[in-house]
Amino acid sequence: MAYDIAILKSSNADKYDVFATAFSMAFPNENISVINMDEDIGKGRKLMEKFDKEKTDMVVALGPRAAWVSKQGHDTPVLISMLSQPGRYGLNDSPGVSLDYSMEQRLKEFIKVIPGTKRIGIIYSEGNDEFVAEAITVANRIGLKIFEKKISDITKLKGALDEILPLIDALWMRTDKVVTSNVTVVKQMIILQALQSKIPIIGSNKWAVNNGALFCLFTDYEDIGRQTGSMARRMLKGENFSMMPPARIRVFVNAYVYERLSASMQVNISDATVFAN
């Protein structure tokens, strides 16, 4: 039996095409259409009505707008992917693959990359309280210790660094509206002071790694496409799913910082490691 599957893209972003190519590998003999809703909610609604009328076997909704439109009371089975923070949209229980690693995945990967890590520092401001609370809870469960310092404005950052760096094995530089709001401060204060103290920085994105963080975790859109394709095939056979994190963890590493720090500490790389140019 050949399935009719529609991939509904929120926009014409290249990442969705990378996903679609990888997804299609799970369905070499099926009818797969890739449709762009152009960030137009009205267009997305009409497309979903069309899928309902044509009795499409499944819609794979990519990105926030497509995900939102697809969940507005339609009959067609929906699988959601290429979406960060699905909980913000009330989609944690919906079947799909998130772009976000779970907290446990992140912390366990930190230990794999830097095996001697027992104490991780986080400097943050209001808005990241829930994230830090979850990090503390999960860290305690797996034998790590989180040292956290909350600041109200950028003038408190130097003191927070002076206080926390002697206590930790690694500094997790979470994206934050205060702590990482100024590029110059990030590079000339946080990264420089940590490296001078031989404390590796775990970045939240590739920009941080390119500017001196040791590594960050990132998601590969081909990986997400393949994982979602596998889930889709199993769903069409009757299995049930909720939102899942990416199955394969990718690590982006600063080669210069790696060479500098690996002289004094163990830093592991794997076949999932990509070095910054």
Euclidean distance between CA atoms 115 and 252, whole angstroms:
17
pLDDT score at 1? 65
Residues 75, 50: contact at Cβ < 8 Å?
no
Question: What whole-number distance in Å separates Cα of residue 269 and Cα of residue 136?
Answer: 26
Q: In tens digits, what is the pLDDT along the chain, a chain of 277 residues? A: 689 999 999 999 999 999 999 999 999 988 899 999 999 999 999 999 999 999 999 999 999 999 999 988 888 999 999 999 998 888 989 999 999 999 999 999 999 999 989 999 999 999 999 999 999 999 999 999 999 999 999 999 999 999 999 999 999 999 999 999 999 999 999 999 999 999 999 999 999 999 999 999 999 999 999 999 999 999 999 999 999 999 999 999 999 999 999 888 899 888 778 888 6
CA distances from 101 to 216, 224, 274 (A): 12, 12, 17
Is residue 254 within 8 Å of 214, Cβ to Cβ? yes
Q: Which helix (DSSP H) or strand (DSSP E) does residue 116 occupy?
A: none
Both tokens assigned to 174 = 């979470």
CB 74 within 8 Å of CB 242: no
Distance CA 80, CA 235 (A): 12
Domain boundaries in the chain?
4-99+221-246, 103-217+251-275
238 CB-contact burial (10 Å; exposed 0-12 / middle 13-18 / buried 19+) = exposed
Query: pTM of this prediction?
Result: 0.90
Residues in the chain, overall count: 277
Closest CA to 27 of 246, 225, 263: 225
Q: Is there a contact between 233 and 260 (Cβ–Cβ < 8 Å)?
A: no
Third-level CATH fold of 103-217+251-275? Rossmann fold (3.40.50)
- Distance separating alpha carbons of residues 137 and 72, to the nearest angstrom: 34
Closest CA relative to residue 18, chosen from 30, 34, 3: 34
Instruction: Tell me the Cα Rg of the chain.
Output: 21
State the fold for domain 4-99+221-246. Answer: Rossmann fold (3.40.50)
DSSP class of residue 101 equals P
Secondary structure E strands in the chain: 4-9, 31-36, 58-62, 78-83, 96-98, 119-124, 145-150, 170-172, 201-202, 215-218, 243-244, 250-253, 273-275
In this prediction, residue 277 carries a pLDDT of: 63
HSE-up (13 A, CA, CB side) for residue 82: 28
Beta partners for residue 150, in sequence order:
124
Pair 227, 233: CB distance under 8 Å: no
Give residue 22's pLDDT: 98
